[in-house]
Amino acid sequence: MNADTDLDPMPDFIPEADLPFGGDCRQALGIDLPVAVINLPHRTDRWDAVSTRLAAVGLDKLIKVPAIDGRTLALDTILPILGQPAELVEHAPGSHFTLTRPAIGCFLSHLSVWRWMIAKGLPKLLVFEDDATPVGHFDQGRFRNTVDAVPGRSGLVFMGRIIMNGMAGAADGSDLARLYFYNGTFAYLITPAACEVLVPALLPMNGHIDHEMSKVLVARRNDFVAHCAEPAFFEPDWSLRSDCYVPLVNVSEADQALGALLDSTRELLLAEGRPLRAPYA
């Protein structure tokens, strides 16, 4: 257990990952950093592809995290986790905020690897989903510097992100920008201290993990800071269909509700004098 966090134990209903890790996390690009990649066990095609892409930029020691397939979970297993009516997960979602079985599996996969990091006493962990791909201008030296700059007490840095409604600040001169609302958990670095803040606020689950984490970043904006790398180091491979995608019904109404949340959140941040980027930039 890392001495910098009081999150011990994690809630029992968060699965405990059993991952192969001998302690050697010296990456070819010249940094000691454990790197975990979440991947559904049957998607060996995606594992082979992401392994090749990451090795090409010097991240060659990867910890394979078997993703939790929410479609296989018994309803009794899901019930203690949910903050939404359980019957909603069995139907096509009518809102961007409604959890689906694949989204529950994704959510639990991330919390499971956080629990593993804490149990191993690791000071930080770089987490990928298997659709992450390095940007074309990936700079190994800047990447090393960014990892070294992660603050221990609020260590959450998105190495790739999609900023929602411009809700991020400008880079502060150290290749990092303040982040408030984002989409995508395909590439981020996290510390036990960040888990200590996030886990109690994320449970029970009330939406997709990226939206729920964003809500924490806004609600705890005065005492918990997340950053994103500027420019980003990774982006999603847009040619791959998400394993978590379930088509929405009532798309127009769902988009309007999400837009209303994004607009009201942006107005809140601006009213406090927080510098933000142009909306939807």
Q: What is the pLDDT of residues 23-36, one digit of tens each?
A: 999 999 999 999 99
Domain-located, residue 93: yes
Q: What is the DSSP letter of 186?
A: S
Residues near 40 by beta carbon (within 8 Å), at least 6 away in sequence: 46, 66, 67, 69, 130, 243
Q: How confident is the model at residue 152 (pLDDT cuts 50, 70, 90)?
A: low
Domain-located, residue 220: yes
Q: What is the predicted pLDDT for the residue at 274?
A: 96
Domain-located, residue 277: no
Residues near 272 by beta carbon (within 8 Å), at least 6 away in sequence: none
Domain-located, residue 265: yes
Structure-block tokens of residue 278: 């142009």
Q: Is the pLDDT of residue 151 over 90?
A: no
d(CA 222, CA 154): 12
Backbone torsions φ then ψ of 160, nearest 5 degrees: -150, 145
Domain-located, residue 100: yes
Domain-located, residue 213: yes
Q: How confident is the model at residue 1 (pLDDT cuts 50, 70, 90)?
A: very low
* Bridge partner list, 183: 162
Q: Which range marks the domain in which residue 253 is found?
A: 26-271
Q: What is the DSSP letter of 11?
A: P
Q: What is the predicted pLDDT for the residue at 250?
A: 85
What pTM was estimated for this model as a whole? Answer: 0.93
Q: Any idea what the Cα angle at residue 27 is, between residues 36 and 150, rounded to 5°?
A: 70
Domain-located, residue 12: no
pLDDT digit string, tens, across residues 46-104: 999 999 999 999 999 999 999 999 999 988 888 888 998 888 888 888 888 889 999 99
d(CA 214, CA 267): 15
Q: Is the pLDDT of residue 149 over 90?
A: no
Q: What is the predicted pLDDT for the residue at 30?
A: 96
Mean pLDDT (the chain, rounded) = 90
Q: Look up the CATH number of the domain holding residue 189.
A: 3.90.550
Number of compact structural domains in the chain: 1
d(CA 92, CA 78): 17
Domain-located, residue 192: yes
